[in-house]
Amino acid sequence: PAADDGALFKVKHQIIADTWFAQATRNMLAAWAQVSSPAFRYHFSRRSTAMPMMGAAHAAEIVYAFDNLRPPAAEQEVDQALADAMTRYWVQFATTGNPNADGLPEWPAYEAETDLHLELGDEVKAGAGFRKEAIDTLNSIRTAMAEGGQ
């Protein structure tokens, strides 16, 4: 049970995020990994300095990817460094089909077995198993429902 309405709000939004974004992304990438073209997953985790209560909201990464920061983020060194890195990754990917470039942390290609991704936040680094337990649970529920379970 949730301790208060604020905790309930967070849990509700985490379930929505897991179902709409994390689960759908992992399942799509697992299918994509079966073909010859590599796929690359990222998790944007930089919390908004203007609206910290929103956390790293859906589509918040767009201003970073296109280096279009506005104050107060534009005035923060960590935000500008993240925008610079993301812009380089996006341009490199658009140019070559692979986001990796000299001077940037390696962005691992996605494989279902390892569930690797690039964490784009206060630090840019590789990660693995994003929301694994929650997504595995959601997938098992979906499988049971598809098989006629309750």
pLDDT digits (tens, 9 = 90+) for 42-88: 999 998 776 666 667 778 899 999 999 988 888 889 999 999 999 99
Cα gap 90→15, rounded to integer Å: 29
**Alpha-helix runs per DSSP H in 33-147:** 62-65, 77-96, 132-146
What is the C-alpha to C-alpha distance for residues 74 and 17, in angstroms, rounded to an integer?
Answer: 27
pLDDT single digits (tens) 93-106: 999 999 999 999 99
Is residue 111 within 8 A of residue 39, CB to CB? The reply is no
Radius of gyration of the chain (CA): 17
